[in-house]
């Protein structure tokens, strides 16, 4: 309890909170950031050239699927049968597909549903309610996804790129650089594999009974990669996720696309007519700090990113989410909470909420999460200013599966090298 009267022996005024004056700059960290020729943090927008993953049913539009089925010498209606096996029964095993003619079945199924992900590792925490998968792609690139059971929903955090080109210094994925874009089907396959695991009873404490027919209800594009830097493939994956007739039939609202702030792509997304939930990784309300913390701020400034976020709300009617990793003495100052609230309120009311994320540790990082009272004060100020603000219940820290922690370790690489690709 605090009392307004100082204790009897107190003779000096209380020490002012040094923290208010402390400003840790991103440049004081102990990581080595990749730089471009001009000495600025390297930004990689284009995917390095690598062997393309095999084309898969989920990469194609319904019409293209029929065309490909015919190319493989089958009547067009077989496309629908494959869609059903893959999107409803979550299988690509020819042995499960007894409605297809036995002659040439293996070859046909392999041609339409080639194997894309080989499971290398699976780590569990929260008594089995959180599972991190490490996948190897056809060319040996490694990606991760994290499956989380919450009361009333099951969320899958998917990767959209192997690595990431955005170079954010507090994110383990960013520090590793971009390996390549993932195909739409490689993104979708993460969901299909998760659904299969859930159907097999693999998610959660086996003593608690799961519901029959349970599956992934929510997708967050918050695994490895910057989804809007891989725009066309991510959008194809989203279309497949929401397609009720030819896809997974999920609700668009349950899909969250999170971006570091690629403004032209945000505008494009708003015009897609698929009302996904949109999240902007802001992390600082002032350009002075964001320039150092989020290298892409050199292209699109705080105000431009916020204007694009507000325009997303205008276009879709979907409330936007602002992500803010709280880093001790770097971006957690009370004045920054006030400035953030001011900038959001200047763009209207009721269009946005803030989702602070206590910083998760990354390898070699000397930064830490904000102290509890500072974090609470930050949240309180925003709420008091009329901005709904809720801390993210970040999961999977124990298995390096939380926000910003997804990166293949040397040990992952070793195990992956010994794991043969799924045939
Ligand atoms: N490229 C996308 C998705 C990134 S992951 C984006 O930038 O939005 C999802 C969120 O986790 C982002 O807001 C990201 O900035 C945040 N994040 C990254 N590293 C983190 C860390 N170490 N602790 C907490 N959040 C982190």
Q: Which of 4-18, 78-92, 97-111, 140-154 has the lowest mean pLDDT?
A: 4-18
**Position 5 confidence tier, pLDDT thresholds 50, 70, 90:** very low
CB 319 within 8 A of CB 303: no
- Buried-exposed string 11-31: b where 16+ CB fall within 10 A, e elsewhere: eeeeeeeebeeeebebeebeb
pLDDT at 72 over 90: yes
User: Which of the listed residues 228, 403, 406 should we mutate to test ligand 1's pocket, taking the one with most ligand atoms within 8 A of CB?
Assistant: 403
pLDDT at 351 over 60: yes
148 lines ligand 1 (CB under 6 A): no
Q: Please report the pLDDT score of residue 211 as a whole number.
A: 66
**Position 12 confidence tier, pLDDT thresholds 50, 70, 90:** very low
CA of 290 to the centre of ligand 1 (A): 14
CB 219 within 8 A of CB 155: yes
Percent of residues, the chain, with pLDDT higher than 90? 77
Q: Please report the pLDDT score of residue 93 as a whole number.
A: 96
Give, for 233, the enclosing helix (H) or strand (E): helix 231-242
Q: Please report the pLDDT score of residue 365 as a whole number.
A: 78
Q: Which of 9-23, 80-94, 296-310, 371-385 has the lowest mean pLDDT?
A: 9-23
The residue contributing the CA closest to ligand 1 atom 8 is 259
Burial zone of 95 (CB within 10 Å; 0-12 exposed, 13-18 middle, 19+ buried): exposed
Q: Please report the pLDDT score of residue 51 as a whole number.
A: 84
269 lines ligand 1 (CB under 6 A): no
Percent of residues, the chain, with pLDDT higher than 70? 92
400 lines ligand 1 (CB under 6 A): no
Q: Please report the pLDDT score of residue 21 as a whole number.
A: 62
**Ligand 1 atom closest to the CA of 225, numbered from 1:** 1
CB 201 within 8 A of CB 215: no
The residue contributing the CA closest to ligand 1 atom 17 is 404
Q: Which residues are catalytic?
A: 144, 403
Q: Please report the pLDDT score of residue 14 as a whole number.
A: 46
CA of 312 to the centre of ligand 1 (A): 20
CB 351 within 8 A of CB 159: no
The most confident of the ranges 3-7, 225-229, 397-401 is 225-229
**Position 94 confidence tier, pLDDT thresholds 50, 70, 90:** very high
pLDDT at 251 over 70: yes
Alpha helices in 252-330 (DSSP H): 263-270, 287-293, 302-316
CA of 304 to the centre of ligand 1 (A): 20
Answer with the residue of higher pLDDT: 96 or 365: 96
166-212: pLDDT as tens digits: 999 999 888 889 999 999 999 999 999 999 999 999 998 655 656 67
**Position 26 confidence tier, pLDDT thresholds 50, 70, 90:** confident
Specify whether the backbone of 308 is left (phi greater than 0), alpha (psi in -120 to 50) or beta: alpha
**Please, what is the angle between helix 263-270 and helix 231-242, to 10°?**
30
330-339: pLDDT as tens digits: 999 999 999 9
- Extract the tokens encoding 182: 């993932």
DSSP string, 23-57: ---GGGSS----B-TTSSBP---SPPP-PPPPP-G
Q: What is the pTM of this model?
A: 0.93
Q: Please report the pLDDT score of residue 1 as a whole number.
A: 40
403 lines ligand 1 (CB under 6 A): yes
Q: Please report the pLDDT score of residue 13 as a whole number.
A: 45
Contacts 24+ apart (CB under 8 A), 198-203: 198/147, 198/154, 199/90, 202/131, 203/128, 203/129, 203/131, 203/147, 203/149, 203/154
pLDDT at 77 over 90: yes
Q: 3-state class of 244 per DSSP?
A: coil
- Buried-exposed string 196-223: b where 16+ CB fall within 10 A, e elsewhere: ebbbeebbbeeeeebeeeebbebbbbbb
* Other beta carbons less than 10 A from residue 36's beta carbon: 12
The residue contributing the CA closest to ligand 1 atom 18 is 404
218 lines ligand 1 (CB under 6 A): no
């Amino acid at each position: 309890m605090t009392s307004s009267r100082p204790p009897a022996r107190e003779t000096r005024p209380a020490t002012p909170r040094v923290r208010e004056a402390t400003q840790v700059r991103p440049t004081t960290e102990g990581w080595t950031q990749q730089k471009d020729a001009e000495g600025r943090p390297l930004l990689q927008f284009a995917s390095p050239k690598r062997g393309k993953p095999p084309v898969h049913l989920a990469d194609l539009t319904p019409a293209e699927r029929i065309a490909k089925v015919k190319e493989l010498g089958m009547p067009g209606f077989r496309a629908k049968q494959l869609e059903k096996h893959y999107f409803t029964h979550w299988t690509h095993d020819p042995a499960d597909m007894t409605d297809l003619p036995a002659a040439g079945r293996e070859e046909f199924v392999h041609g339409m549903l080639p194997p894309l992900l080989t499971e290398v590792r699976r780590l569990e925490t929260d008594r089995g309610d959180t599972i991190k998968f490490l996948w190897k792609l056809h060319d040996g690139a490694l990606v991760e996804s994290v499956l989380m059971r919450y009361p009333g929903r099951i969320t899958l955090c998917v990767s959209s790129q192997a690595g990431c080109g955005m170079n954010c210094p507090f994110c383990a994925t960013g520090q590793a650089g971009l390996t390549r874009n993932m195909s739409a089907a490689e993104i979708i396959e993460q969901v299909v594999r998760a659904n299969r695991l859930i159907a097999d009873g693999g998610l959660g404490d086996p003593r608690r009974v799961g519901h029959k027919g349970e599956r992934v209800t929510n997708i967050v594009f918050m695994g490895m990669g910057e989804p809007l830097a891989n725009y066309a493939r991510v959008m194809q994956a989203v279309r497949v996720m929401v397609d009720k007739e030819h896809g997974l039939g999920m609700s668009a609202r349950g899909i969250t696309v999170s971006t570091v702030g690629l403004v032209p792509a945000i505008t494009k997304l708003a015009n897609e007519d698929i009302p996904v939930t949109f999240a902007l990784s802001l992390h600082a309300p002032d350009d002075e700090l964001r320039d150092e913390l989020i290298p892409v701020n050199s292209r699109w400034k705080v105000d431009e990113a916020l204007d694009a976020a507000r325009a997303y709300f205008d276009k879709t009617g979907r409330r936007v989410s602002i992500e803010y990793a709280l880093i001790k003495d770097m971006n957690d100052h009370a004045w920054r909470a006030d400035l953030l609230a001011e900038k959001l309120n200047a763009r209207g009311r009721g269009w946005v909420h803030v989702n602070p994320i206590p910083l998760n540790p990354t390898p070699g990082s000397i930064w830490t999460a904000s102290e509890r009272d500072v974090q609470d004060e930050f949240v309180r100020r925003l709420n008091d200013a009329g901005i709904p603000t809720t801390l993210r219940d970040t999961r999977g820290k124990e298995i390096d599966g939380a926000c910003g922690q997804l990166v293949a370790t040397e040990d992952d690489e070793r195990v992956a090298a010994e794991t043969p690709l799924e045939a």
